[in-house]
Amino acid sequence: MSIVQNLENIKKELVSNNINSKIIAVSKTFELSHIQPLIDHGHLAYGENKVQEAKRKWEELLKINNNIQLHLIGGLQTNKSKDAVKLFHYIHSVDREKLVDTLASAEINLNLKRKYFLQVNTGDEDQKSGVSIENVEQLYNYAQKKIDIIGLMCIPPVEEDSKKHFEILRELSIKLNLKELSMGMSHDYLEAGANGATYVRVGSKIFGARG
């Protein structure tokens, strides 16, 4: 089945479940030649994990197709902030004050405004990026004075039921009066949608298994 058909099937599935989530096609590790049919089909939202890989793949294309919207869904080092702001329209992985500062500075230097999600470590996992649940409000209060925080993002622990993590994120978003929720991947996007995800991040279910 083609990647275009895969995307259309997911759209139908969301509609049949009364879910309005936007689909970010997670194109990380795939070359542009593999992604191109989806671009030609008119899909506009793509997710990448690494700034350098995204720059190599998308920089030239964005000059001729400014409707495409790139989402950074991987962790971000402060020294890559300027490149990230230059390239990505949405950054889903803001998780500390120092990163907020470097992103705000990059926006001023580049005269660009981007949209941001706070990444929340809902499973309190040591190896995973994200601000702790206890510190979300503090980080939001700091960040929203400097950059445009539009929502929250999470990546639930692999071995746990995603549902409770989606519920935690939704409750936090209500508390902070944030409209956008970035949650759900190829294996749990329907559950995420049912819990209010406004963006789902789908990779292998569209593009196939990664090599």
Question: 47, exposed or middle or buried, with CB in 10 Å at 0-12, 13-18, 19+?
Answer: buried
Q: Is the sign of the CA dihedral 72, 78, 79, 81 positive or negative?
A: positive
pLDDT for 211 equals 65
pTM more than 0.75: yes
Q: How far apart are CA 74 and CA 176, in angstroms?
A: 23
- Parse the chain into domains and list their residue ranges: 3-207
Secondary structure (DSSP) of 114-136 = -EEEEEB-TT--TTS-SB-GGGH
Q: What is the mean pLDDT of each run of 10 residues along the chain (211 residues)?
A: 96 97 97 96 98 97 96 98 98 98 98 98 92 98 98 96 97 98 98 98 94 65
23 close to 200: Cβ distance less than 8 angstroms: yes
Assigned token pair, 124:
């309190």
pLDDT for 138 equals 98
3-207: CATH homologous superfamily? Alanine racemase (3.20.20.10)
pLDDT for 102 equals 98
